[in-house]
Amino acid sequence: MEKSSFKELFGIKHRVEVRINLTNVCNLHCDFCDHDAHLPFSKDSTKVYRRKPLVSSLSELKQLCESLKGIGESDRHVLQGGEITVLPVKTIIEVIEIFHSYGRNIGMRTNGYNLKEIPVDSLNKLNFIYLNNHGNNQEAIDSCQDYLSINYKGIIINEENYYHRDLSKYLHHNEGTIEEGINCSHLLSTITFFPPIIHPCCNSWALMNSLNDKNMADLLIEAGWTTTNSDLSSTLQNWRSTLPIEFFQSFCAESCYLTAKTVNSPLQKIKLYESDKILKK
Ligand code: SF4
């Protein structure tokens, strides 16, 4: 198959980054986490995505690479969570190996918790590492910066996110339009994979959590936005007709913070929680 970028496949102006959400588990409890990772797991939780931890399986990740052979291999693929270093080191090694063996441009985003347990040769199969500082994990970030400066050959990208948006304040604002969603610069520029679904923007998984919405997951699966689709590339290429209209209506137009006009909600500072494990000792 001819090699093409996701940007070419989608016919959009923006470079595309693929986010691979390996888990919704985290070692920290940042206030107002976009992925609801600050909320506990409980089988009786009213939040459908906090009833049990979710972890992408190796077979699902392989299926993604198989389905997209020849497409977007050079685009950035970011392994992230939750926090991916809470997963067993053996799993992290295998995940890196899968993407590396398929020749995809792979990196990770971490709060630094358990990064130093990952073998150096696996770390060096990552082309970039985002060190995501939330203020409550400064010790882990400092420790990783020192370690990576000696042991890592790729690019280190230091990020600072000390505040989170309270997404709940934006739900059902009904102030946007479907057209704003279709023309949104985030649409397709940050596709997010949480098996088996390929989400069309970085906010889709967060909105499913905030809205406590399982229906959109079903709609995206029905529409073929999943690695189980044997002709995934055509479905992605024809996104204007294959994405469910409900996505643009109930997510983009009704509840996304980007389309809100009058909601006035200050950013919320992330606090330190004494029980959080900053570094794996
Ligand atoms: S949900 Fe929000 S971020 Fe995603 S495409 Fe729609 S308007 Fe853009």
pLDDT digits (tens, 9 = 90+) for 44-75: 999 999 999 999 999 999 999 999 999 999 99
Mean pLDDT to the nearest integer, 175-197: 96
Ligand 1 centroid, distance to 125 Cα (angstroms): 32
25 Cβ contact list (under 8 Å, min separation 6): 37, 53, 54, 55, 81, 82, 83, 86, 87
Per-residue pLDDT band for 210 (boundaries 50, 70, 90) equals very high
Which tens digit of pLDDT belongs to each residue from 245-273? 999 999 999 999 999 999 999 999 999 99
Point out the ligand 1 atom lying closest to the alpha carbon of residue 184: 8
Is 100 a domain residue?
yes
Query: What does the alpha-carbon distance between residue 139 and residue 242 come to, in Å, rounded to a whole number?
Result: 45
253 within domain boundaries: yes
> How many beta carbons lie within 10 A of that of residue 59, not counting itself?
11
CA distances from 71 to 3, 103, 127, 135, 184 (A): 6, 11, 18, 37, 23
Q: Which atom of ligand 1 is nearest to the CA of 253?
A: 7
Query: Collapsing DSSP states into helix, strand and coil, what is residue 75?
Result: coil
Kindly tell me if the per-residue pLDDT of 2 is higher than 60: no
Minimal CA–CA distance to 272: which of 29, 17, 18?
29
Q: How far apart are CA 29 and CA 108, in angstroms?
A: 20
What are 109's two structure tokens?
């985003």
Cβ-based neighbours of 44, under 8 Å, separated by 6 or more: 51
| Residue 149 maps to a domain | yes
Report d(CA 98, CA 96) in Å as an integer.
6
- In this structure, is residue 281 part of a structural domain? no
Residues paired with residue 107 on neighbouring β-strands, in sequence order: 78, 128
Alpha-helical regions (H) of the chain = 6-10, 58-67, 89-101, 120-123, 138-151, 178-182, 203-211, 215-222, 232-237, 239-242, 245-246
Please give the single-letter amino acid code of residue 224: G
Q: In the structure, which protein residues have their CB atom closer than 6 angstroms to any atom of ligand 1?
A: 181, 184, 186-187, 201, 203, 251-252, 256, 258-259
Cα 186 to ligand 1 centre (Å):
6
> By percentage, how much of the chain surpasses pLDDT 70?
99
pLDDT at 1: 52
Asked whether the beta carbons of 254 and 211 are under 8 A apart, the reply is no
Residue 63 lies in a domain: yes
pTM over 0.85: yes
CA distance 35 to 40: 12
> Which residue range is the domain that position 43 belongs to?
6-269
The token duo for 260 is: 């809100």
Q: Please give the C-alpha separations between residue 223 and each of 174, 208, 228, 235, 248, in angstroms, as whole numbers.
A: 24, 16, 11, 8, 14
Q: How far is the CA of 178 from the centre of ligand 1 (A)?
A: 10
Instruction: Specify the pLDDT at position 201.
Output: 97
Task: Tell me the pLDDT tens digit for each residue of 22-49.
Answer: 999 999 999 999 999 999 999 999 999 9
d(CA 226, CA 230): 9
pLDDT reported for residue 281: 73
Mean pLDDT over 133-145 rounds to: 97
**What is the residue with the minimal CA distance to atom 6 of ligand 1?**
252
- How many domains is the chain built from? 1
CA 237–ligand 1 middle distance (angstroms) = 18
For residue 140, tell me if it sits in a domain.
yes
Please check whether residue 276 lies inside any domain of the structure. Answer: no
Closest approach atom of ligand 1 to CA 180: 7
In contact, 150 and 236? CB cutoff 8 Å: no
Ligand 1 center to 89 CA (angstroms): 34
Integer Rg of the chain from CA: 18
- In this predicted structure, the answer to whether residue 152 has a pLDDT above a threshold of 90 is yes
State the chain's mean pLDDT as an integer. Answer: 96
Confidence of residue 180 (pLDDT cuts 50, 70, 90): very high
- CATH number of domain containing 34: 3.20.20
Within-domain flag for 147:
yes
